[in-house]
Copies of this chain bind each other. A is one copy, B any other.
């Protein structure tokens, strides 16, 4: 797999910069200042036709006059000069660029032609570039900010990919107020070359990035996007804001970065399919990304609310119910425990409301620990942060009257906060807080800096908690999700490619069981059938050679009892008699793609490993050769009075398997085992199709 070009673009060791000058009022200079002064430690080479130095750095008159190629060119010059510059990059060996300049695909036909020109030059020289019409990138790990907004961001774990530059620049102050740190942020602009999918793949691999926020106006390569997202979701959450789904939204987008927007509902389905959380607005996008980057996931949806003020507690409870969380009543026992340590005015049913009390020990430690320790509680919503800054305010107001021991209070508060922020890690449960004050409140700042999100309203904390739970469900679904087809489904697929399979019927109760058995006619085989059940034989979930209704009923009941937890579905199958068991299958190799396997089946597969392989697609000759290649190939001959195997049918099966592999990218493996020779004719008696996840 080729290296992702963003590796270099996001982590350049040297940058050549086109468009900066010594006039602070141009956009280009503003961006260069951020690179020069933002903490970036690499080399910076400004290009300027006249000036000897730019912002104190030695300037070069053009790219060709540089000694050696820089890792990255950042281009902010007027559009008409860009093709020439790109040519120079190509000739001097610069292979990565960010093109900030606008006026391309987004402005219509003429712009599209100019964009084609850039693409052609880039392809000629193997240059990979972001943009045009983008705002640049931020990589907090190396202090690199190529955007024009001052570098007032904090390093953290939210990665951002945006089709709007504003969401990685103007929002930086917004993030700061939320106490939200970012890992890397990428403005993709017109995606003439590098697109969202590349960025997604890159951030998926980035260790600093723990959640990924997307601002989307339209997706160019939906299938690749889907595949990339699915690969990332089990490790980190992806949250998307899509705005092209309404008529005016689409109109706004098409004149913006030239995206083709699809209907809202389509994207709903698409995001769902990918496992992406869809945010309805900017607020949710970043609120959720923050929580998902910083907090453990709740194991269930049972959340406790702890507050020292009724209104915000009630607001939390109300919102929790609206967004699918549960605020379960505490047991009488727990209620008594809480009652014993709280003031008489407190409520202790959940929400726990200690009513205007600021006992730091109680609020930040005793109660959260008691609550988070409960098996029945999966997370905590907290309202009750109140820093000593408010006492400072009081002193400022009444300095002539003050006798507040502020130092002591600050020490106590610091201690309380420091213990509080350890709780999510200690209990492996999420805490999200709300406070109407922001970071001007020193306790809010302390708690945010300690990794627990503090949101400006109760409702926003609750919706973020719901997002954690939503992601947890998605993860779970993927983890225990359908990674394989059931035997029944697997054989349906094989049959559709003309692979001979056993006659079989799926049944769920005694009545349909007997009906199916009669239809197939005794003797039959009964098998537990569920994609979640592997190793049926070992688990005693197969009964063979069943001769009559009574035997069938007994077998059915035994199998059903053994399938605890799974859907009670049983496969009634014709009994194939044949002593020669073969195996045929498909595996997907990272280099060769789908490969077909043939060999001795049944218990001999593991023991003898007598198998042969071919890369798909197979010609008939390949298939026949495979059969001859195995050591035990004599099994296919007419032996011991058994008919010779019908090699043509066997060959067709192997060719079909290769075809399935080529035509179904989502299939990772196929295992037909045993493939029994019944009077010389092969029949797939058991089969398993494993899916890509």
Residues of A within 8 A of B (CB): 22-25, 27, 30, 33-34, 36-38, 55-56, 102-103, 106-107, 149-152, 162-167, 170-174, 177, 215, 217, 241, 243-249, 251-253, 255-257, 280-283, 305, 309-322, 326-327, 329, 344-345, 347, 349-351, 353, 355-356, 390-391, 393-395, 397-398, 400-404, 435-438, 440-441, 456-460
Contacts and interface: CB of A to CB of B under 8 A. Distances in A.
Contacts of A315: 241, 243, 281-282
Nearest to A305: B252
A310 B252 CA distance: 7
A343 B177 CA distance: 33
Contact of A166 (B151, B172, B246, B309): B309
8 contacts: A22-B403, A107-B344, A170-B312, A174-B436, A217-B311, A244-B314, A256-B353, A281-B315
A107 B217 CA distance: 52
A458 B253 CA distance: 15
Given A164-B314, A171-B436, 16 more contacts: A24-B401, A33-B398, A33-B401, A34-B397, A55-B401, A107-B345, A150-B393, A166-B436, A170-B312, A244-B314, A245-B318, A249-B318, A252-B317, A253-B314, A282-B459, A283-B460
Contacts of A320: 246, 248
Nearest to A25: B404
Interface centre among A23, A152, A249, A257 (most CB of B within 10 A): A249
B283 A248 contact: no
A261 B455 CA distance: 27
A316 B165 CA distance: 16
Contacts of A305: 252
B244 A318 contact: yes
Contacts of A402: 24
Contact of A173 (B318, B321, B436): B436
A310 B313 CA distance: 38
B243 A24 contact: no
Contacts of A24: 391, 394-395, 398, 401-404
A317 B243 CA distance: 8
Nearest to A403: B24
* Top-5 shortest CB links A-B: A164-B311, A256-B310, A255-B347, A246-B321, A249-B318
A251 B170 CA distance: 41
A162 B173 CA distance: 32
